[in-house]
Copies of this chain bind each other. A is one copy, B any other.
């Protein structure tokens, strides 16, 4: 089937059915791919302020076969929100739908519209004495709709799960403009197929999430954090297992930091205070959230003592107060910025079975050395088996010197991840950047089922064409 461009004619016909100001000329920010890989295009940007207007827009687009590209905070790193080719689409920005529709503290539930910014949702939960645990670097601009459409991850997945695990119900406008009123506030509901989880992570290709019923949690009564030096990733995993045996879900985050990351920080952001005089080759940031009646510093001291006895750790520092804890986190969260200063040749958002992580790191270095000389900053959410395995030029060379090697590097890392039972997109999604990876590494039976579902729910293929499943794949089916 062929899509029609989003022309003036289409917009003129749609416009009278919407409040004035809903349809706008596309501002440049809607057409920028955050990593600068390509230039987007759009016939217009629609900024509806209510669900009914989203429905009107999709109904018209579906009737006219005009492509719709849903747009949240624009922070996605795989180009799911920016279409470069094909018939000019209508970009659908949810930014005006940013109400927190309700907070139910007694139920640990909050209902937010798709355009609500993550930090605002966190704040609304905090104001009600509760915690919304989704937390990631872009939380100041990322929107709930986009976070759910991409099933975002972040630093608290170990304890609270991925974005999808924080959702009780959804309101969704389907591709034909019908509204699914699924904003349940229920912890158990076995009435039919779980459309919620199908829409979450479908990256705007099956419908538009307009609101979500989100799970809140009790705020941990006591918090604490420590940085511990480990000899290698295997020791880090042994430390994690020991910590889980002692503290179970009390461990909120378990982040791996490499010596290369610390070196990048020292070089590009010297204002960030480094905890150890000699930067260790590997260390972990352990964050705790504990019930009343247990002292986090004491728990971390006892863990450290046992881990020292077992030979898992060689040094460590335990936060003595909340500002020191914030300092540890600031160190961790400065690493991506230091990476940007250095300039990666190729970045990889991968996950592995937890016990395969050390072997992967052992094998990936030599495999890359077969391509050329690089520096690797391998860091991230070790507790989830999720590494950001980023490859940089050696000191004094630039990323441009390695442009010709980028594809080989990516293939080398992704092949190894796939061979070891891992995922080539742990928390960022497929978008437009990784459709080839999905085709190459995806299970063919799963891919066939995905295409069948896409065709069943969006027979005209108007929803975010080119993302996740490419047109080619649709036609092949």
Contact = CB atoms under 8 A, between A and B. Distances in A.
A89 to B, nearest CB: 21
A98 to B, nearest CB: 23
Interface in A144-199: 150-151, 153, 157-158, 161-162, 164-165, 174, 178-182, 184-198
A123 interface: no
Query: How many of these chains are in the complex?
Result: 2
Contacts of A248: 217-218, 220-221, 289, 291
Nearest to A426: B188
Interface residues of A, number: 101
Contacts of A293: 246, 294-295, 298-299, 302
B188 A386 contact: yes
Interface stretch (A38-46, A310-318, A324-332, A437-445): A437-445
A457 B449 contact: yes
B456 A453 contact: yes
Interface stretch (A65-73, A103-111, A113-121, A272-280): A103-111
Interface string A409-446: 00000000000011111111110001001100111011
Contacts of A91: none
Interface in A114-150: 129, 150
A107 B107 CA distance: 32
Contact of A186 (B129, B190, B351, B456): B351
A355 interface: yes
Contacts of A430: 190-192
A237 interface: yes
Interface string A205-244: 0100000000001101100000000000000010001001
A188 B246 contact: no
A424 B257 CA distance: 48
Nearest to A448: B178
A188 B447 contact: no
A354 interface: yes
A446 B106 contact: no
Contacts of A385: 107, 186-188
A224 to B, nearest CB: 12
21 contacts: A106-B355, A108-B354, A129-B245, A151-B190, A153-B188, A184-B423, A189-B423, A189-B425, A190-B426, A192-B438, A192-B446, A193-B449, A217-B249, A246-B293, A247-B292, A248-B289, A249-B249, A290-B291, A291-B299, A292-B302, A453-B453
